[in-house]
């Protein structure tokens, strides 16, 4: 049986991280599957760009689009130099073992979003090239996969939609080959249109890639290696006392990630649930630890409140312009606009004459507000966060509200959702 491992940017941010990947890969090849008790017959390793490379590459495209070529080039050279330094530290010879992309893959005649995908995808290409060659040199049986040729998507740049039928066929064929090396190194987050152009699946999309690959190859499990012990009941950067949730149902995991929990990308669960493949979230600095297990028969969270922050929210309130206001008609109009502008809704509230929605404050919001203004009196507040507390009690809600500016709150018996003004620093 096969397994899928995913390593994010934090786990491969430097040479030591990559050595640790080697250690974890070797453990996987030598141990039996926890699900089937069979020896592994293949490990699909999905890898993100190193550290903060994706952010740096975003700046490269932004500079170029703004005509600031010098800044773009110096930022690009920084990225390349950083990768070269890591290669050297790993004992690899730049230019001999790996030839990194020299020029910025940017075409000024093409739209911004298309260029974005060509440039930003280089982060994953470089990280996987380096790691694949390193593992090969260390004596492992390894193959590097070029996902832009294997994971087929449409050309919705920066948020490409995957063609599962075509992709599954291509990937299965590659995976089921008789003499395939034991370890396959693949990029997360990126795919391709089939005519040579690279696409990206949306920021933090590598988990989603891992889930898709797990689904296509019928993996017996998928493991996401993280810099946290597993899924916690709160963000350790915000709450001082956190508790590990050892076992979780798919549905609860979807809800947690949709509410804003950063541990897994919201799109990760569905492809796994469809094939009942368990998902493990484990700490990369302690591979023997149990971590969290997400599956159909998960048990938790039990009796502990779970705090989830979804940051960077904007609360948009639409008020009727006239007395002919019909809630149902307005709802369908509003959601049509929201859907067409690709807004991501986190909460909805309505009264007799107003409708409020909290959405992620993305680059699509200004145009959507312009269109909403044609039909409604629109007001909005930004610099907000949505705090969801699951398994809550009235006392816990009161504690959470204390000292915070609450713009809106929705509570049911076990769940509270508060739209909170971000604290000013």
Interaction pattern, residues 6-35, with Mg ion; x per rule: CB under 5 A: ---x--------------------------
Touching ligand ASP, residues 196-215 (CB under 6 A): 203-206
Q: How far apart are CA 49 and CA 40, in angstroms?
A: 26
Closer to ligand ASP by Cβ: residue 8 or 271: 8
Least distance between Mg ion and beta carbon 253 (Å):
20
Residue 205, binding choice from Mg ion, ligand ASP, none, Cβ under 5 to 8 Å by partner class: ligand ASP
**What is the residue whose two structure tokens read 């690009």?**
76
> In terms of Cα–Cα distance, which of 309, 315, 320, 398 is closest to 359?
315
Q: Is 230 in the site for ligand ASP (CB under 6 A)?
A: no
**Which option in Mg ion, ligand ASP, none does residue 295 bind, with CB closer than 5 to 8 A by kind?**
none
Residue 48 binds to ligand ASP (criterion: CB under 6 A): yes
Does position 360 interact with ligand ASP (CB under 6 A)? The reply is: no
Hey, is 100 helix, strand or coil? coil
Of the candidates 372, 391, 384, 387, the residue with the CA atom closest to the CA atom of residue 422: 384
Shorter beta-carbon distance to ligand ASP: residue 10 or 182: 10
> Residue 118 interacts with ligand ASP (CB under 6 A)?
no
48 or 199, CB closer to Mg ion? 48
> Given the complex with ligand ASP, which of 57 and 397 has the nearer CB atom?
57
Based on the number of CB atoms within 10 Å of its own CB, is 416 exposed (0-12), middle (13-18) or buried (19 or more)?
A: buried
Q: Which is nearer to ligand ASP, 86 or 416 (CB)?
A: 86
Instruction: Rule CB under 5 A: say whether 48 interacts with Mg ion.
Output: yes
DSSP 235-254: -TTT-SS--B--EEEHHHHH
Using the rule CB under 5 A, give the single segment among 47-55, 172-180, 277-285, 307-315 that binds Mg ion. Answer: 47-55
Question: What is the number of residues in the chain?
Answer: 425
Residue 192 binding: pick among Mg ion, ligand ASP, none (C-beta 5-8 Å cut-off by kind): none
Task: State the residue for tokens 């307005």.
Answer: 330
Q: How far is the CB of 200 from ligand ASP (least distance, A)?
A: 8
Map tokens 């409140």 to a residue: 305
* Torsion angle of the four alpha carbons 85, 89, 93, 98, in this order, in degrees rounded to the nearest 10: -70
Binds ligand ASP (CB under 6 A): choice among 12, 21, 45, 49: 49
Minimum separation from the CB atom of position 153 to ligand ASP (A): 15
In whole angstroms, the minimum distance from the beta carbon of 215 to Mg ion comes to: 22
The closest residue (CB) to ligand ASP is 206
Core vs surface per residue 404-415: b (16+ CB within 10 A) or e: eeebbbeeeeeb
Closer residue to Mg ion in complex, CB, 9/300: 9
Task: Please report how close the Cβ of residue 6 comes to ligand ASP at its closest, in angstroms.
Answer: 9
Task: Tell me whether residue 8 or residue 305 sits nearer to ligand ASP (CB atom).
Answer: 8
Residues near 294 by Cβ (< 8 Å), separated by ≥ 6? Answer: 231, 247, 248, 249, 250, 253, 269, 272, 278, 279, 280, 281
- The H-assigned helical ranges of 176-291 are 206-216, 250-259, 269-274
CA distances for 1 relative to 4, 15, 50, 322, angstroms: 10, 30, 29, 63
Query: Rounded distance, CA 388 to CA 407, Å?
Result: 14
Q: Is the torsion defined by CA of 343, 344, 346, 348 positive or negative? A: positive
Q: What strand order describes the sheet that includes 142-145?
A: 142-145, 183-187, 43-47, 3-7, 221-226, 279-283, 292-295, 247-249
Q: Is 53 in the site for Mg ion (CB under 5 A)?
A: no
Find the shortest distance in angstroms from Cβ 203 to ligand ASP: 4
Q: Do the Cβ atoms of 256 and 245 come closer than 8 Å?
A: no
Among 175, 189, 216, 309, binds ligand ASP (CB under 6 A): 189
Tokens of 328: 């149902």
Q: Is 8 in the site for ligand ASP (CB under 6 A)?
A: yes
**Does 268 engage in binding with ligand ASP (CB under 6 A)?**
no
Let me know: does 289 contact 242? Beta carbons within 8 Å: no
Based on the shown chain and the rule CB under 6 A, indicate whether residue 9 belongs to the binding site for ligand ASP: yes
Q: Which does 189 bind (CB under 5 to 8 A by kind): ligand ASP, Mg ion, none?
A: ligand ASP
Q: Minimum CB separation from ligand ASP for residue 362, in Å?
A: 14
Residue with smaller CB distance to Mg ion, 9 or 266 = 9
Residues in contact with ligand ASP by the rule CB under 6 A? 8-9, 48-49, 54, 123, 188-189, 203-206
Residues in contact with Mg ion by the rule CB under 5 A? 9, 48
């Amino acid at each position: 049986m096969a397994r899928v491992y995913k390593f994010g940017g934090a786990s491969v941010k430097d040479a030591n991280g990559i050595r640790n990947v080697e250690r974890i890969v070797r453990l996987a090849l030598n141990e039996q599957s926890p699900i089937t008790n069979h020896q592994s017959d293949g490990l699909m390793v999905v890898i993100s760009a190193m550290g903060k490379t994706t952010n740096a590459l975003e700046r490269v495209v932004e500079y170029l689009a703004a005509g600031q070529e010098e800044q773009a080039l110096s930022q690009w050279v920084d990225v390349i130099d950083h990768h070269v330094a890591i290669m050297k530290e790993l004992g690899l010879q730049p230019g001999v073992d790996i030839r990194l992309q020299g020029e910025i893959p940017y075409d000024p005649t093409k739209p911004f979003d298309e260029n974005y995908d060509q440039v930003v995808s280089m982060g994953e290409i470089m990280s996987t090239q380096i790691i694949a060659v390193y593992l090969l040199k260390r004596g492992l049986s390894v193959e590097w996969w070029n996902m832009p040729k294997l994971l087929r998507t449409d050309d919705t740049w920066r948020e490409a939609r995957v063609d599962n039928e075509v992709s599954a066929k291509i990937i299965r064929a590659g995976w089921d080959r008789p003499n395939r090396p034991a370890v396959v190194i693949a990029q997360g987050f990126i795919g391709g249109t089939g005519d040579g152009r690279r696409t990206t699946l949306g920021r933090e999309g590598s988990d989603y890639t891992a889930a898709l690959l797990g689904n296509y190859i019928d993996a017996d499990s998928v493991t996401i290696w993280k810099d946290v012990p597993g899924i916690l009941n709160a963000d350790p950067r915000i709450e001082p006392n956190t508790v590990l949730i050892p076992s979780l149902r798919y549905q609860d995991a979807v809800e947690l990630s949709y509410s804003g929990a950063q541990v897994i990308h919201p799109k990760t669960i569905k492809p796994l649930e469809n094939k009942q493949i368990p998902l493990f979230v484990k700490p990369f600095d302690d591979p023997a630890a149990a971590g969290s297990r997400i599956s159909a028969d998960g048990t938790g969270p039990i009796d502990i409140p779970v705090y989830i922050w979804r940051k960077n929210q904007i609360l948009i309130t639409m008020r009727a312009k006239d007395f002919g206001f019909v809630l149902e008609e307005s709802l369908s109009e509003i959601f049509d606009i929201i859907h067409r502008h690709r807004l991501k809704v986190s909460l909805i509230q309505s009264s007799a004459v107003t409708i409020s929605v909290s959405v992620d404050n993305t680059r699509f919001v200004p145009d959507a507000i312009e269109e909403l203004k044609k039909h409604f009196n629109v007001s909005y507040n930004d610099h907000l966060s949505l705090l969801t507390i699951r398994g809550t009690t009235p006392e816990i809600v009161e504690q959470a509200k204390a000292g915070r500016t609450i713009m809106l709150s929705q509570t049911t018996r076990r769940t509270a959702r508060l739209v909170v003004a971000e604290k000013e620093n």
